[in-house]
Amino acid sequence: MNALGLIVEYNPFHNGHYYHLTQSIKETNADIVIAVMSGNFLQRGEPAIVSKWDRTKMAIHSGVDLVVELPYAFATQKAETFANGSVSILEALQCQSLCFGSESGDISSFLLANEFLIHNKKQYEELIQHHIKTGVSYPTALTLAFQSLSNGHEILDLSLPNNILGFHYVKSIHQQQAKIKPYTIKRSSAGYHEQDFVSSTIASATSIRKAIFANKDQVANYVPKETVKVMDKYKDQQDLLHNWEYYFHLLKYSIMTMSEEDLLTIYEVEEGLENRIKKNIHSAVSFQDFMERIKTKRYTWTRLQRLCTHLLTKTTKQQMSYIDQSETSPYIRLLGMSSKGQGYLNSIKKQIELPIISKLSTFQHPLLELDIKAAATYNMIFPEPLRSKLLRTEYATPPIRLENN
């Protein structure tokens, strides 16, 4: 079977995702769709609006056949590491293709950019370090270094978020010598960070979440009916949809009970940041307020949100040391599947070299322990007895089996 791989977050699944899904199937002539999806905490350092189990339901109902979890250690990372973990899982699941959305919409520009930087690797890395020393953020340094090397020739605009991710997918495929063929679909209508609705049917996940938390009714125009059902049911049962403000008291407690030396053991806390974090946490009255206080030119909002996620989960540099040694995921965690997805998995299971996890009790690994801790942290905002019930779901929930439409 011709297996198509997608790298997703579905926070939540919306019409733009459905467009990307259907166009990707047409572009690659796929028989089966496999999605590697971030768990309860996402690449931009945010808690997902609903749990990974509920986002899995959205995905399968909308046409995905197999959903697997991208481990926390890769999911809450810069684009390069995020891409490495995702591509390694899709390669292990024998995907013939990977299709991603981009502002470019032209796969040849990604292939050309990757080839260009391979030939100019040393200069590129030197230019990155040069720009970082000027005080700019890491993503900005990457963009400036690429622009300097290409002498103003527009090979690929690496200042745009989806182009950046797409470039790293292509780079990961090359570095891992994966058999996956990359494709890209041009993003339609809404930009990645678009705050407001600019189309009648397609909007960015950012603008959709903004409207949801503002209690606006027009969200239904921008998401499939099943997404609305899943979110409504989740809110009825849990009495909330997740955002950072619900976790701020936990973050504040975590920081205030740690010394500056302890803070330096946390992943992504670089020397000097521990002082800034300690100085501002006491007077901050909300997560938004805290972020505005610690934001600098050098550290992007997204980078600081990821740092806060690691502070919240108390994830240390030592615990994350595995990804410094290996760029690939050590296991595949199943979240859900259709009958077609289950059939595909059964047909290739003996050829898959990575352990496939459907029950947590059957496998142990330091990165899996981080996934479990992240899931526990995600559910700590609930009162008892709901909290204990949800904490058990990480162990008690088998892969979801649904039929897609």
d(CA 124, CA 130): 10
157-184 pLDDT per residue, tens: 888 889 999 999 999 999 999 999 999 9
Alpha helices in 152-272 (DSSP H): 161-175, 205-213, 225-238, 248-256, 260-263
Q: Which of 70, 44, 73 is nearest to 55 (CA)?
A: 70
- Of how many residues is the chain composed? 405
CB atoms within 10 A of CB 318: 10
Q: Which pLDDT belongs to residue 297? A: 81
Q: Are 343 and 66 in contact (CB under 8 A)?
A: no
Angle, helix 248-256 to helix 287-294, in steps of 10 degrees: 50
DSSP SS3 for 401: strand
Q: Which pLDDT belongs to residue 236? A: 95
Residue 105 one-letter amino acid: G
d(CA 345, CA 343): 5
Could you tell me which CATH class the domain 3-103+183-191+328-401 is placed in? alpha beta
d(CA 245, CA 48): 12
**Does the structure show a pLDDT above 60 at 242?**
yes
What whole-number percentage of the chain has pLDDT above 90? 74
For residue 348, name the pLDDT band (cuts at 50, 70, 90): very high
**Does the structure show a pLDDT above 80 at 333?**
yes
- The two structure tokens encoding residue 102: 């981009």
Q: Which pLDDT belongs to residue 300? A: 87
Of 347 and 405, which is predicted with more confidence? 347
Average pLDDT over the chain, rounded to an integer: 92
d(CA 224, CA 202): 11
Characterize 9-18 residue by residue with b for buried, 16 or more Cβ atoms within 10 angstroms of its Cβ, and e for exposed: bbbbbbbbbb
108-128 pLDDT per residue, tens: 999 999 998 888 888 888 888
d(CA 330, CA 337): 21
Q: Are 183 and 106 in contact (CB under 8 A)?
A: no
Residue 50 one-letter amino acid: V
d(CA 189, CA 105): 13
Under 8 Å CB-to-CB from 347, ≥6 apart: which residues? 1
Q: Which pLDDT belongs to residue 13? A: 96
DSSP SS3 for 41: strand
243-260 pLDDT per residue, tens: 999 999 999 999 999 999
Angle, helix 386-396 to helix 366-378, in steps of 10 degrees: 150
CB atoms within 10 A of CB 382: 17
Annotated binding residues for ATP, as ranges? Answer: 7-20, 101, 162, 187
Q: Are 22 and 405 in contact (CB under 8 A)?
A: no
**Does the structure show a pLDDT above 60 at 284?**
yes
In the chain, where are the structural domains located? 3-103+183-191+328-401, 117-159, 244-313
d(CA 63, CA 338): 9
Mean pLDDT computed over 354-369? 94
Phi, psi of 10 (to 5 degrees): 50, 60
Residue entry with tokens 């339609």: 188
pTM of this structure: 0.92
DSSP SS3 for 327: coil
**Does the structure show a pLDDT above 80 at 195?**
no
CB atoms within 10 A of CB 288: 12
What whole-number percentage of the chain has pLDDT above 70? 96
Q: Which pLDDT belongs to residue 405? A: 67
d(CA 109, CA 115): 10
Residue 275, Cα to own-chain centre: how many angstroms?
28
Residue entry with tokens 């975590």: 254
Q: Are 41 and 247 in contact (CB under 8 A)?
A: no
66-105 pLDDT per residue, tens: 999 999 999 999 999 999 999 999 999 999 999 999 999 9
Residues linked to residue 7 through DSSP beta bridges, in sequence order: 36
Under 8 Å CB-to-CB from 308, ≥6 apart: which residues? 45, 244, 251, 287, 290, 291
Annotated binding residues, as ranges? Answer: 7-20, 101, 162, 187
For residue 61, name the pLDDT band (cuts at 50, 70, 90): very high
CA distances (Å), origin 137, targets 1, 78, 151, 163: 43, 12, 21, 17
Q: Are 189 and 129 in contact (CB under 8 A)?
A: no
For residue 146, name the pLDDT band (cuts at 50, 70, 90): confident
For residue 194, name the pLDDT band (cuts at 50, 70, 90): low
